[in-house]
């Protein structure tokens, strides 16, 4: 390990050229993160002083200098990003950071995903929208060190001094006009052994790349079908594999009664019992489906056998926390509401999948995973190997939304490969993914506010939730083990910390108290995109609107009057302006407005909804229609923006998530399992639900710090849609999504067999 030294100024950093035959540059980072707390009527909440981004960035800092940028002899730069890309655009934005400091065109920077690197400790977790916040400086320093090494080598070749040389687009030019390319000096720059180099990062005013709108670097691969996900990889001998799962959630297999019959089926090569079900390996996935459907399995019930939504609701309500006593004031009025949020699936398009090749003394795994170190260490322990014998490749994922904070498929594939003694390409059927995949837990939120004399004296929120699983820890096994202490105690500590570090109510509402209580470890849960915030903010903002009505204030006026953050005020005013807040609209339609503050940023959303019968009842076959959000204006202040086009994309996606969670998207627990077994059961936003008019505004910012993007679009949208719905219908919704208690819009698929057969009528449905 290289010694840590202090930085010499705000933009001056030390780094290292690592000796070798190829130019490899590393950052050395110790940066103080100043915490600021201003005196405000509401004492600062934890998230205001130290939020989840700070926490994960600080946790990553000690190992930041193990992250290196390499310049090869063809003059291209290479960087293995120790993060997981699932569509959020970090490969592109990271390439932009390197191109900026190295003065290279973007297409000469290649960013790949690093395999599990245990030495990175906490620096290989992808979550909490923290990637750019935590890598912004280290990656640029490493790139700047590489550039300095190239300049030093060029100075010798060109016979000039480093200070007088200019680098641009991979070419270094001397004042006399002579020049060399990076390719020509890369080998020379690599020589000379390991040495410390001091560099100065570019000032914002010098940026030519950062802050410009760029397309994704993998756009061409994506539109030509060449981009590869786990199930597209061709690993020798890794045949298609699926698992027959229990009819109750997390039920376990006792025995397969017709093993010989299944083994004789066309294409089937192996069958094995594992902890989660009966695995089958075959020549094609279609033959795996046939085999699963033919299996006669004896099952042991799972832990929620016989239970339905209502049972879990009762359990949460029974646990409702006592909110602190209210300030006594005879003139005060109490505004109170209680909200319920049903289970939702993070359901990426690319179902849980992994390739595993487990041998006697080693293993190799391919998986889209945000915690590869935890995964590698857990799988090694499971297989009785040391972690260095398990190679864990991080593959790009087809969406995550929190799902890939876990490695359920990788662990299952490792177990199956070991049991069968063969490489396997495991893919969860969509029915498995919907029913047994991880979900956003059901929760209730009680909000109580005390209003007197035109002021809000107190605002309290008690959030009670089925446990959110944080057993992935901070991305390595030590904290994962801490989160797995008995009786949920370790996980509860994580949950409380995450809640405190993410929730911030940016209004002057006197005594603000937000508390979290979690219970019930029986479900497969996890941090779905934006974790607690969509539910918490929706409950908040509906009550804010209710208070506004008591105070006879317009919703915008109400928020502006009590707002205690300049950044929130900025996005709010802009959203109101661009979204034509207050414009006249027909009965049955309305606007809603909401804000959110998280991820070193602030957002505001104006949503317009149409709840008129002709719209609600519009007919789309096998679809949930209902109220239509017709227009969304979303304003985001994300601090320093690396790629505004990517940021806009993340907001557009978050908008559709917010709409889904407010209006259409949930899982129904009935008799021990979730009913939803596919799309057209689970109603994520579709083209007939998406707003025809969407406008995202990225606020200019003089902040030197990038904020988070991936999750920042969800909370304000969900809340704004809920507020718009309440104003359009005159009824404040008390559960979400609003259609959850409607008659089911689909016929539930059987649980035995657990996967549906593929249809055969496709040639009749062409268009």
Min. distance of Cβ 213 from another protein in angstroms? 8
User: What kind and span of H or E run contains 655?
Assistant: helix 644-659
User: Among residues 418, 432, 409, 383, which one has the least CA distance to residue 270?
Assistant: 418
Contact residue for another protein among 87, 115, 170, 570 (CB under 8 A) = 87
- Bridge partners (DSSP) listed for residue 451: 333, 456
* Residue whose CB is less far from another protein, 527 or 656: 656
Peptide bond into 737 cis (omega under 30): yes
DSSP type of residue 474 = T
318-347 residues near another protein, rule: CB under 8 A? 347
Question: Which residues inside 460-489 make contact with another protein, applying CB under 8 A?
Answer: none
Residue 744 touching another protein (CB under 8 A): no
Helices 555-562 and 533-550 cross at an angle (nearest 10°) of: 100
| Contacts to another protein from residues 343-382, by CB under 8 A | 347-351
Helices (H), 465-554: 477-482, 489-502, 533-550
Q: How far apart are CA 374 and CA 397, in angstroms?
A: 18
Judged by CB under 8 A, the chain residues 220 through 279 that form the site for another protein are: 220-229, 231-232, 234, 240, 266-267
Nearer to another protein, 102 or 638 (CB): 638
At its nearest, how many Å lie between another protein and the CB of residue 129? 14
Distance CA 386, CA 371 (A): 18
Q: Can you tell me whether residue 540 is helix, strand or coil?
A: helix
Q: Which of 493, 510, 588, 756 binds another protein (CB under 8 A)?
A: 756
User: With CB under 8 A as the contact rule, which of the stretches 138-146, 162-170, 354-362, 672-680 interacts with another protein?
Assistant: 672-680
**Interface segment toward another protein; rule CB under 8 A; list 158-166, 391-399, 464-472, 722-730:** 391-399
Q: DSSP letters of 234-247?
A: --TT-EEEEEE--S
52-60 helix and 489-502 helix, angle to the nearest 10 degrees: 110
Nearest to another protein of 229, 735 (CB atom): 229
* Touching another protein, residues 285-314 (CB under 8 A): 285-287, 289
Contact indicator for 514, 503 with CB cutoff of 8 Å: yes
Contact stretch for another protein (CB under 8 A) within 157-165, 170-178, 213-221, 445-453: 213-221
Report angle CA 742, 688, 722 to the nearest 5 degrees. Answer: 55
Min CB(664)–another protein separation in Å: 12
Q: Which is nearer to another protein, 386 or 758 (CB)?
A: 758
DSSP letter at 682 equals B
- Reduced to 3 states (helix: H, G, I; strand: E, B; else coil), residue 751 is coil
| Segment interacting with another protein, rule: CB under 8 A, options 85-93, 320-328, 470-478, 518-526 | 85-93
Compose the 28-67 pattern: x for residues touching another protein by CB under 8 A, - for all others.
Answer: ----------------------------------------
Q: Is 24 helix (H, G, I), strand (E, B) or coil?
A: strand
Show contacts with another protein in window 420-449 (CB under 8 A).
Answer: 427, 429-430
Task: Measure the CA angle with vertex 216, ends 213 and 219; round to 5°.
Answer: 135
Question: What is the smallest separation between the CB atom of 219 and another protein, expressed in angstroms?
Answer: 5
Give residue 69's Cα distance to chain centre. 25
Length of the chain equals 767
What is the rounded distance in angstroms from the CA atom of residue 170 to the CA atom of residue 185?
11
Segment interacting with another protein, rule: CB under 8 A, options 3-11, 48-56, 156-164, 642-650: 642-650
Beta carbon of residue 765, minimum distance to another protein (angstroms, whole number): 7
Residue pair 494/443 in contact by the 8 Å Cβ criterion = no
- Indicate the residue among 501 and 696 with the shorter CB distance to another protein: 696
CB under 8 A: which stretch of 62-70, 322-330, 395-403, 507-515 binds another protein? 395-403
Whichever of 597 and 631 has its CB closer to another protein, that residue is 631
Measured distance CA(720)–CA(606) in Å, rounded: 6
Question: Closest distance between another protein and the C-beta of residue 351, in Å?
Answer: 7
The single residue among 685, 708, 718, 737 that binds another protein, judged by CB under 8 A, is 685
We find the least distance from the C-beta atom of residue 217 to another protein, in angstroms, to be 11
The number of CA neighbours under 13 Å toward the Cβ of 430 is 14
Question: Site residues for another protein, window 691-730 (CB under 8 A)?
Answer: 691-692, 694
* Of 215 and 329, CB closest to another protein: 215
Nearer to another protein, 62 or 748 (CB): 748
For residue 634, the SS3 value is strand
Q: Which listed range, 11-19, 413-421, 468-476, 679-687, lies at the site for another protein (CB under 8 A)?
A: 679-687
- With CB under 8 A as the contact rule, which of the stretches 114-122, 358-366, 441-449, 673-681 interacts with another protein? 673-681
Nearest distance in Å: CB 398, another protein: 3
Cβ–Cβ < 8 Å for 440, 346: yes
How far apart are the C-alpha atoms of 372 and 369, rounded to whole Å? Answer: 6
Least distance (Å) between residue 382 CB and another protein: 27
Subset of residues 612 to 631 that bind another protein, contact rule: CB under 8 A = 620, 622
Quick check: bond before 578 cis, omega within 30?
A: no
How many CB atoms neighbour CB 505 within 10 A?
Answer: 23
Select the residue interacting with another protein from 63, 68, 84, 88 (CB under 8 A).
Answer: 88
List 452's β-bridge partners, or say none.
Answer: 455
- Residue 608 · residue 585 · CB < 8 Å: yes
């Amino acid at each position: 390990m290289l010694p840590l030294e202090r930085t010499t100024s705000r933009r001056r950093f030390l780094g290292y050229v690592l000796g070798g035959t190829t130019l490899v540059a590393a950052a050395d980072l110790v940066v103080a993160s100043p915490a600021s707390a201003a005196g405000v009527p509401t004492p600062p909440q934890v998230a205001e002083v130290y939020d989840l981004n700070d926490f994960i960035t600080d946790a990553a800092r000690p190992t930041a200098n193990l992250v290196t940028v390499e310049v090869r002899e063809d003059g291209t730069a290479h960087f293995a990003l120790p993060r997981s890309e699932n569509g959020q655009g970090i490969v592109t934005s990271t390439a932009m950071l390197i191109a900026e400091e190295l003065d290279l065109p973007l297409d000469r920077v290649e960013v790949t995903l690093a395999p599990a690197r245990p030495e990175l400790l906490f620096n290989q977790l992808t979550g909490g929208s923290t990637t750019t916040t935590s890598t912004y400086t280290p990656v640029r320093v490493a790139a700047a060190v590489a550039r300095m090494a190239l300049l030093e080598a060029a100075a010798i070749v060109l016979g000039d001094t480093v200070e007088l040389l200019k680098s641009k687009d991979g070419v270094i030019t001397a004042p006399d006009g002579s020049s060399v390319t990076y390719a020509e000096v890369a080998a020379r720059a690599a020589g000379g052994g390991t040495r410390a180099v001091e560099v100065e990062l570019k000032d914002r005013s010098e940026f030519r790349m950062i802050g410009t709108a760029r397309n994704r670097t993998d756009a061409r691969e994506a539109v030509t079908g060449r981009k590869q996900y786990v199930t597209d990889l061709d690993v020798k001998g890794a045949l298609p594999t699926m698992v027959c799962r229990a009819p109750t959630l997390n039920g376990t297999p006792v025995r397969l009664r017709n093993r010989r019959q299944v083994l004789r089926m066309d294409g089937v090569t192996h069958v094995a019992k594992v902890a989660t079900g009966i695995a089958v390996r075959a020549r094609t996935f279609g033959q795996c489906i046939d085999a699963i459907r033919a299996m006669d399995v004896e099952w042991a019930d799972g832990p929620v056998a016989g239970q339905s939504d209502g049972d879990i609701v009762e359990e949460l309500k029974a646990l409702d926390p006592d909110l602190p006593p209210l300030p006594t004031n005879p003139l005060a009025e109490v505004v109170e509401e209680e909200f319920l949020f049903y289970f939702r699936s993070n359901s990426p398009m690319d179902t849980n999948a992994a390739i595993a090749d487990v041998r006697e003394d080693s293993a190799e795994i391919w998986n889209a995973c945000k915690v590869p170190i935890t995964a590698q260490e857990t799988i090694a322990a499971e297989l009785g190997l040391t972690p260095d014998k398990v190679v864990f490749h991080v593959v790009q994922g087809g969406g995550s939304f929190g799902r890939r904070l876990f490695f359920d498929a990788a662990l299952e594939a490792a177990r199956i490969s070991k049991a069968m003694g063969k490489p396997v390409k495991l893919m969860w059927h969509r029915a498995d993914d919907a029913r047994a995949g991880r979900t956003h837990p059901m929760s209730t939120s009680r909000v109580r506010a005390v209003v007197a004399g035109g002021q809000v004296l107190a605002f309290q929120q008690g959030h009670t939730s089925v446990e959110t699983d944080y057993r992935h820890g901070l991305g390595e096994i030590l904290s994962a083990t801490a989160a797995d202490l008995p009786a949920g105690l370790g996980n509860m500590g994580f949950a409380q910390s995450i809640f405190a570090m993410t929730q911030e109510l940016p209004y002057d509402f006197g005594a603000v108290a937000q508390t979290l209580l979690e219970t019930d470890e029986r479900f497969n849960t996890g941090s779905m995109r934006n974790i607690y915030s969509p539910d918490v903010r929706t409950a908040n903002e509906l009550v804010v609107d209710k208070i506004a009505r008591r105070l006879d204030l317009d919703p915008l006026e109400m928020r502006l009057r009590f707002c205690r953050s300049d950044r929130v005020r900025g996005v709010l005013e802009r959203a109101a302006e661009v979204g034509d807040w207050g414009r006249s609209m027909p009965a049955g339609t309305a606007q809603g407005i909401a804000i959110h503050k998280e991820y070193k940023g602030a957002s505001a959303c104006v949503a317009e909804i149409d709840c008129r019968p002709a719209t609600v009842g519009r007919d789309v076959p096998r679809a949930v229609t209902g109220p239509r959000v017709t227009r969304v204006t979303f304003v985001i202040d994300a601090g320093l923006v690396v790629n505004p086009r990517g940021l806009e994309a993340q907001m557009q996606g978050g908008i559709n998530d917010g709409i889904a969670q407010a209006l259409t998207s949930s899982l129904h627990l009935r008799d021990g399992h979730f009913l939803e077994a596919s799309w057209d059961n689970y109603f994520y936003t579709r083209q007939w639900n998406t707003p025809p008019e969407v406008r995202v505004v990225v606020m200019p910012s003089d902040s030197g710090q990038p904020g988070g993007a991936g999750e920042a679009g969800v909370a304000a949208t969900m809340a704004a849609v809920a507020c718009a719905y309440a104003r359009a219908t005159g009824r404040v919704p008390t559960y979400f999504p609003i259609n959850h208690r409607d008659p089911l819009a689909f016929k539930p698929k059987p649980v035995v067999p657990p996967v549906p057969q593929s249809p055969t009528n496709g040639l009749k449905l062409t268009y």
